Amino acid sequence: AQKITQTQPGMFVQEKEAVTLDCTYDTSDPSYGLFWYKQPSSGEMIFLIYQGSYDQQNATEGRYSLNFQKARKSANLVISASQLGDSAMYFCAMREGGVNAGNMLTFGGGTRLMVKP
């Protein structure tokens, strides 16, 4: 089974509107972390947001927020007020295990977001 599933290969959003990028994960470990990264066409990987499995509140970083639904094992990224510069590939990733576990990230297949003017 896939550990990280991003079901939307491509999405369009109108500039200034909000958009939700889906991510579901599969783990039996009670301790894990979830990450979102942005990859523009230039290729770099830009860290956006992190959510720990024990965090009580949903993570937020500026226009990015993570809709963490633990029971559903979903960690959707919400981008508010989309900008043209948000057009990029977005990757969800997971780290499993507690303090003594490794830090390996498992990535999903990505969602290509295109912001329309």
Partner 1 sequence: EPEVTQTPSHQVTQMGQEVILRCVPISNHLYFYWYRQILGQKVEFLVSFYNNEISEKSEIFDDQFSVERPDGSNFTLKIRSTKLEDSAMYFCASSERRDYIHFGNGTRLTVT
Q: Which residues bind partner 1 (CB under 8 A)?
A: 33, 35, 37, 42-47, 50, 52, 91, 93, 95, 99, 102-110
Q: Which phi and psi (to 5°) does residue 44 adopt?
A: -70, 160
Pairing between β-strand 111-116 and β-strand 10-14 as defined by DSSP bridges: parallel
CB of 37 to partner 1, least distance (A): 7
Radius of gyration of the chain (CA): 14
CB of 108 to partner 1, least distance (A): 7
Nearest to 34 by CA among 92, 83, 79, 85: 92
Report the DSSP beta bridge partners of residue 74: 24, 69
CB of 31 to partner 1, least distance (A): 10
Q: Which is nearer to partner 1, 79 or 92 (CB)?
A: 92
Question: In the chain, what is the greatest distance between 2 CA atoms, to the nearest angstrom?
Answer: 47
CB of 64 to partner 1, least distance (A): 14
Q: Which is nearer to partner 1, 53 or 76 (CB)?
A: 53
Q: What is residue 67's three-state secondary structure?
A: strand
Q: Which is nearer to partner 1, 87 or 90 (CB)?
A: 90
Q: Which is nearer to partner 1, 99 or 117 (CB)?
A: 99
